Structure 1
Amino acid sequence: MSQHHTLLIVGGGAAGVSVANNMLRQNANINIGLIEPSEKHYYQPGFTIIGGGEYTLKAATRNEADLINPKVKWIKDHADSFQPEQNTVTLRSGETVTYDYLVVCPGLQLDWDKIKGLKETLNKNNVCSNYSPDTCEYTWECIQNIQSGTALFTQPPPPFKCAGAPQKIMYLAADRFRKKGILDKFTIEFCNAGPAMFGIPFFAKALEKVAAGYGVNKFFNHNLVEIDGPGKTATFETTDSAGNKQRVSKKFDMIHVTPPQSAPDFIKQSPLANAAGWVDVNDNTLQHNKYPNIFGLGDAASTSNAKTAAAVRKQVPVVVDNILYLMKNKAVEGKYDGYGSCPLTTSLSTVMLAEFSYGGKVTPSFPFLDPRKNRWIWWWGKKVGFPWLYWHLMIKGYRIDIPHRESYAKKFMTEE
């Protein structure tokens, strides 16, 4: 059995649904197929504040069927393999789907298995993670119940979803402990496989101050490799300045784990992948570097931007417009500049809105607001405004383009 679509989309998350619905707003008659096995769709930026007790999983969840335009053929199956020379995708069921144009955006996979012992102890023994709808509620349970002790928060080597998420939950937990009057009963440690608080120095300096305000102990070049839940012990591989590695163990009473992440295995094993396993696309046009009728965006793309919903919001119009250009025999345009945004929750009432593009350029959207400042308005955005924009505008295919400018940040750079 086989079916054909003018545009075929692999992945029904933020990127896939937005591309389908946006395309129909540009061309209401285009024949679109969307491959997505899951019946639930999650607002993943909400997972952090679910873990912090400020949001609910119900509020972050919708039925996939309610989000996909009825004109789109929903193919409720897994994509299994790609045959780009034949313009064909084979499904796990064995059925094949052919296309004129293909968009690949299946998101990331969480590699829990790369940390020895993690899967066996996750969601018990005070071992939690905000990175899955199956685990984020247990984070809040841990934060509610623990009264003292050592709380570890880990960050793996990149790439992973949202560059600030591993430390955002740490600040929410610390502020929760402070409000309960028990912060001084905790030793809080940030164990980061990387060399700094954040990949962009402009924001790293500001986050250092936030961490210091909560008394957080920072351990850089510490990569979690093993965890013994019942024994309450985490083992890290550390790297010194000379590149020498050794293993150190830390005891904990609670640990929040950010799992290693990578492109899905079916992407890594496909002819669409680059050497690192990502969908091999041009950084600016998002067109595949080998197959011109294929595009990639979102977390599985090879672009070096931060893997956030805000990046997807900027990528969708570029992909849609470039497919329409190809249909009219026009040249594609390289309009994506690597924009991403990370609303860094620094307390239960404040957020630092980090916006940046390729090369670590700080590119705010609001010219008169210092992006390093912790503001209540962005906390409101995190809890109310951004989810509303996601469900009611972005996912429905509307274009939301708030200009961002490197020049907006220069005033604040000189004030450092």
Structure 2
Amino acid sequence: MTDRNKAGSSKAPLVLRDGLSRRDFLKLTGGLTAAAAVGSAPAAAQAGVQTRARIVVLGGGAAGLTVAARLRDLLDGARITVVEPSETHHYQPGWTLVAAGTYSVSDVTARNEHYIPRGVDWKKDYVAAVDPESQVVETAGGDRLDYDFLVVATGIHLDYEAIEGLERADIGQNGLTSIYAGPEQARHAYEQTQRLGEQGGVARFTIPNTPIKCAGAPIKATLIAEDLLRTAGHRDRVDFHYHVREGALFSVERFDGMVRDIYGERGVGIESGSVLQGVEPELRRATFVDGDGNRETVDYDYLHVVPPMRAHDWVREAGLAVEDGSLAEGGWLAVDDQTLQHARYPNVFGAGDVVDTAIGKTASTVRAHGSVTPDNLVSVLQDREPQQRFDGYTSCPLITEVGKAALVEFDYTLEEVPTFGFIDQGQPSWMWWRLKVHMIKPLYYNMLRGRYLR
């Protein structure tokens, strides 16, 4: 890490609101980090419930592993199976830091075998189909898994191919970038940003007209790239454009205004009502469509693509998807937005990005789901009503430049719910950058073990 990326390098003393000094803040958050590194025992209020239930967890990402670990701690005698084809676990909250040149690819990859809970079976395969009536999961390899309870935690399908002329394999070439595509592609984004600064040109950043995970990431990608070029002395060589669907840039009004102000100060043009429709990679041309269906084709030298996102096809084919409303097109898993129990099948629960909740497709949301979903499943297993409630909590360390961020936390009301009430979390600061770089990661990996759940 270069000196400019080291958090807290200023020598001047800093006193925060209500008299909290830099040293006090570091002691507070440093203690949090130390506790996360050591870990803690999970809550034992319902631990040891005796059962022979067969529980299948679909997905071995952040949500699937967290739920499986929590269920393993709550139940005694259950047969829990995780269906997950990948042997590699990706720390996705770190991909923006790879694009900033702060993390390496190895910093955001791990082995899934290290996080599959002891005593939980691991089926290394893809989900092919689910029959919720007969309570059977079929895998791509032809296995049939009977279940008494099902947890759907398979995340999101990144539909790059829904953009005309684009294939996922194009990302990382000809000026095409996407921090959503993976850690290697995030590294390519960093490298292509350096190249853009040397050569100059037009940079375009996009957001689709579908729900997306980590909705602040497109903003982070824009501001990180702009800051890297500004620091390198190449900012005047590049014209920045942010193409956005109609409406707010950020769902919380205060931060929508903040982002618009920062874009204005840094010369990032906001192209409202402009959704990416097609790409000609070899020609470096992109076609955008407005709300009336009018198309416009423009040139680019650097294009950051956020693909349309939806649930995997089998969710709809199984009859588990929401059937009406604004989220029906994406085939999202239909759940009660507070209990996360399926709307039609009481022995099915959801967790993570796949659910049809109005907001909250972030790792911080998974922490909340990681207690709500397993605890409510255990309640139903005991013939009790689900007691735990998800309030829509989500968090976004909104990076405004390399070395500074704001910490945004809110719920279904779209009102702020700050963890550190004695500090203005919305003011970009080195503190929240330090939190993002050094403290969230150990908490995340403890979350995978069922610890530190909200």
Shift in Å, 1:200: 2.0
Task: Give the whole-Å Cα distance in 1 for the aligned partners of 2:223 and 2:53.
Answer: 47
Q: Alignment partner for residue 356 of structure 1, among 387, 402, 410?
A: 410
1:361 match: secondary structure: coil
Are residues 1:238 and 2:286 paired? Answer: no
Report sequence identity in percent.
34
Please give the alpha-carbon distance, in whole angstroms, between the structure 1 residues aligned to 2:221 and 2:263: 12
Match of 1:163 among 208, 211, 215: 215
8 Å contact kept, 2:285–2:297: yes
TM-score, with structure 2 as normaliser = 0.84
- 2:114 aligns with 66
1:7 to 2:55 alignment: yes
Matches of 1:121 and 1:100, distance apart in 2: 42
Q: In structure 1, what is the equivalent of residue 189 of structure 2?
A: 139
Letter in 2 for 1:314: A
Question: Secondary structure of the residue that 1:86 maps to in structure 2?
Answer: coil
Partner residue of 2:257? 205
Distance (whole Å) between structure 2 residues aligned to residue 209 and residue 231 of structure 1: 33
Structure 1 runs of 4+ aligned residues shifted over 6 Å read none
Structure-2 residue corresponding to 1:250 = 298
Is 1:286 paired with 2:340?
Answer: yes
Q: What is the match of residue 378 of structure 1?
A: 432
Question: CA–CA distance in 2 between the matches of 1:53 and 1:172?
Answer: 10
Distance (whole Å) between structure 2 residues aligned to residue 32 and residue 369 of structure 1: 42
**Which secondary structure does the structure 2 equivalent of 1:245 belong to?**
coil
Question: Structure 2 matches for 1:2-401, cutoff 5 A?
Answer: 6-119=54-167, 121-133=170-182, 134-146=184-196, 147=198, 148-239=200-291, 244-275=292-323, 276=328, 277-391=331-445, 393-401=446-454
- The structure-2 alpha-carbon separation of the partners of 1:250 and 1:89, relative to structure 1 and needing over 3 Å to count, comes to same
Kindly indicate whether the alpha-carbon contact (under 8 Å) linking 1:305 and 1:311 is maintained by their aligned counterparts in 2. Answer: no
Secondary structure of the residue aligned to 1:249 is strand
Is 289-298 or 188-197 further displaced after alignment?
188-197
Q: Map Cα deviations across residues 130-157 of structure 1 (whole Å, 9 max, x no partner).
A: 0122522211110121222111111111
Query: Can you list the C-alpha shifts for 1:323-343, whole angstroms capped at 9, x where unaligned?
Result: 111222211125101111111
Between 116-125 and 277-286, the greater mean CA deviation after superposition: 116-125
Aligned partners of 1:109 and 1:261 also within 8 Å? yes
Q: Deviations over 1:200-220 (max 9, x none)?
A: 212101111221232111111
Contact 1:121 1:228 in 2 (8 A): no
Query: Does structure 2 conserve the Cα–Cα contact (< 8 Å) formed by 1:47 and 1:132?
Result: no
Deviation of 1:360 after TM superposition, in Å, equals 1.9
For residues 181-216 of structure 1, the C-alpha deviation after alignment (integer angstroms, 9 at most, x for no partner) is 111221111011232221221210111122123211
Q: 5+ unaligned residues in a row in structure 1: which ranges?
A: 402-416
CA apart distance, 1:27: 2.6
How big is each residue's C-alpha offset from its partner over 1:366-389, in whole Å with a ceiling of 9 and x where there is no partner?
212223210111111211111111
1:236-291 deviations in whole A, cap 9, x for unaligned?
Answer: 0013xxxx331112211111111111101111222111121111110000001111
Q: TM-score, normalised by structure 1?
A: 0.91
Q: Alignment partner of 1:360: what SS?
A: coil
Instruction: Give the match's secondary structure for 2:105.
Output: coil
The 3-state SS of whatever aligns with 2:147 is strand
Q: What is the SS of the residue equivalent to 1:93?
A: coil
Q: Tell me, yes or no, if the aligned pair for 1:317 and 1:399 is still in contact at 8 Å.
A: no
Query: Whole-Å Cα distance in 2 between the matches of residues 316 and 68 of structure 1?
Result: 15
Letter of the structure 1 residue corresponding to residue 321 of structure 2: A
Q: Which moved more, 1:73-82 or 1:362-371?
A: 362-371
Which one is further off, 291-300 or 81-90?
81-90
SS in 2 for 1:354: strand
In structure 2, C-alpha distance between the alignment counterparts of 1:121 and 1:80, rounded to whole Å? 27
CA distance in 1, matches of 2:334, 2:342: 6
**Residue type matched to 1:24 in 2?**
R
Moved more, 322-331 or 335-344: 322-331
After superposition, the C-alpha distances for 1:269-315 in whole angstroms (9 at most, x for unaligned) are 22111121111110000001111111011111111122101011011
Secondary structure of the 1:139 match is helix
Amino acid at match of 2:366: V
Give the Cα separation in 2 of the matches to 1:218 and 1:20: 42
In structure 2, C-alpha distance between the alignment counterparts of 1:305 and 1:339, rounded to whole Å: 8
Letter aligned with residue 351 of structure 1: A
- Is the CA contact (8 Å cut-off) linking 2:54 and 2:147 kept in structure 1? yes
Task: String of CA shifts for 1:361-408, please: whole Å, max 9, x gaps.
Answer: 2222221222321011111121111111111x201111333xxxxxxx
**Range with greater deviation from structure 2 (132-141 or 201-210):** 132-141
Unaligned runs of 5+ in 2: 1-51
